[in-house]
Amino acid sequence: MADMETMVNDLYADADVQRMLALACKAEPLHICFPREVNVSRFVAWLLDPNQGHGLSDRAIKSLLTRAGQSDRACSLTANERRFLSASSVQTQSFSSMIVTTEADVSNGKGKRCSVDILAMDPFARLYIAIENKFGAREGVAQTHNYSRHLGKLFPTYRGIHIFLDSNDATPQGDCWLPVGYDWLSGFLADAERMNWLSAEVKSTLSQFRSIIQDADEESSSSSPLAALVSKVAGNYGPVLGLMQTLFNTQATSLRAAQLAALVAPGEVGNDAKARVRLFQLYCRAPATWDKCIRQRQFARVNAELRAAFPDLETEPRRVVTSFTRKDWIRLLELPEENPTEYLWAAGIHVRLVDEKFRIVSWIQFANVSTALREPLLKLSATFRSTYGIGARNRDHGWHALRRSVLLTPAKVAEEAVAHMRELSQAISTLP
């Protein structure tokens, strides 16, 4: 292994590293103020409110209700509720009178405060839509049970629709809550960005927010020049990234001052000490991006073997998962007129590391699939899901899992990833 000074100098000198850091720089307000769960809820509430200045009217509410009505859980609702949530019913109603609020206390002043993240109410239609938003967090004990109980007492004569919007695609505890993944939000925002009548300011807001929440939505992968550079840098600089991880507590931003003080403490002299300070400076320029590079080291073998088998491979390292697709599959999409180089992928595989074991999922994402190929891809999805015993989808859009492999060792995961990608490639090659 080269000495520390040489490794750090090589990192600074690499043009790919400099391009990666330049792309990681943020200027948009929403990227700078990275949203926590409460801010995401406020944005979703703004999106759902037909009286706000986004120009979308009630399209977001209709889209969300349509997706909720197509969830597997909707089958357990009453016949009347299923009819209300059917696509033909939702799309022919008006929700322009909805009142939308966030952090709505539904306990009615009795007992412990009970706040629903988003609550939309229509007093004339005697309807409420409750949305519990989970941006990476887990549901509390009996949380959705308690919410629906309080809502029933508060609005005893209203029709209640309960939606569990979760970035981890979890199943809510409350039986009446309909799970909706963040792939719905990513897909709706991508569609909205292509609406010609929206202002440039609104489109910019939607685009910024979509790029942020996609890092939480582990299903909606997309093309990104920055992601390609992260994968390349991670593959080329494993040893120095290991040093970066060892020297700095990369998750603790509050310790930055103490870390720097330790690096420049009396007695810390010599070329290695100077190199450590320079490495710290480089890390602090874009810590979130360097954290992705560090995590991506664990996927080095998967990256290498997939790229050897599929030279047109594209990768996107995410918060807890790395996604892979093929450049040729761009033919499956209707590309956006604006920013045609950034788009949601149509198909690929996710590789996730959980407790030292890997999971792989092959998938199709229908958000931007071309109209001509929608039906052939739906048939392809049905064939895969039947073959691998994955329950049939009762929706014809969004994200479809096709095949899963779990509990894979580091020695096995690369081989299995190539098998997944090869099978998916063969199926897609038969499409018209």
Question: Predicted confidence band at 319 (pLDDT cuts at 50, 70, 90)?
Answer: low
Domain closes at, from 213, 237, 264: 213
Rounded to 10 deg, the angle between the 15-24 and 225-236 helix axes is: 140
Number of residues written out for the chain:
432
In a domain? residue 382: yes
Question: Does the pLDDT of residue 304 top 70, yes or no?
Answer: yes
Question: Predicted confidence band at 394 (pLDDT cuts at 50, 70, 90)?
Answer: very low
CB contact at 8 A, 375 and 405:
no
Kindly report, residue by residue over 82-105, the tens digit of the pLDDT.
999 998 999 999 999 999 999 988
Q: Looking at the structure, do residues 147 and 236 belong to the same domain, yes or no?
A: no
Q: CB 33: neighbour CB atoms within 10 A? A: 11
Q: Looking at the structure, do residues 306 and 369 belong to the same domain, yes or no?
A: yes
Tokens in use for 415?
């081989």
Strand, coil or helix: 139 = coil
CB contact at 8 A, 373 and 391:
no
- pTM for the whole structure: 0.65
For the sheet containing 399-408, what is the strand order? 313-317, 321-326, 347-354, 357-365, 399-408
Q: Looking at the structure, do residues 50 and 173 belong to the same domain, yes or no?
A: yes
CA distances in angstroms from 230 to 96, 223, 280, listed in the order given: 44, 13, 18
Kindly report, residue by residue over 223-276, the tens digit of the pLDDT.
677 877 888 888 888 888 888 888 876 556 667 787 788 887 777 778 888 988
Q: Looking at the structure, do residues 302 and 289 belong to the same domain, yes or no?
A: no
318 or 418, higher pLDDT: 418
| Res 358: pLDDT | 92
CB contact at 8 A, 116 and 160:
no
218 or 38, higher pLDDT: 38
In a domain? residue 169: yes
Q: CB 187: neighbour CB atoms within 10 A? A: 25
| Res 415: pLDDT | 95
Q: Are strands 127-134 and 159-166 parallel, antiparallel or unpaired?
A: parallel
Q: Looking at the structure, do residues 273 and 370 belong to the same domain, yes or no?
A: no
Q: Looking at the structure, do residues 287 and 334 belong to the same domain, yes or no?
A: no
Element at 154 (helix H, strand E): helix 143-154
In a domain? residue 218: no
Q: How many domains does the chain have?
A: 3
Q: Mean pLDDT in the chain?
A: 85
Q: Looking at the structure, do residues 166 and 105 belong to the same domain, yes or no?
A: yes
Q: Looking at the structure, do residues 363 and 242 belong to the same domain, yes or no?
A: no
Residue 143's closest CA among 110, 117, 161?
117
Burial of 90 (0-12, 13-18, 19+ CB in 10 A): buried
* Residue 337, domain extent: 298-429
In a domain? residue 222: no
In a domain? residue 221: no
Lowest mean pLDDT, pick from 30-34, 98-102, 172-176: 30-34
Q: Say which residues have a Cβ less than 8 Å from residue 75's Cβ, sequence separation at least 6.
A: 82, 394
Establish how many alpha carbons lie within 13 A of residue 151's alpha carbon, considering only the half-sphere containing its beta carbon: 30
In a domain? residue 220: no
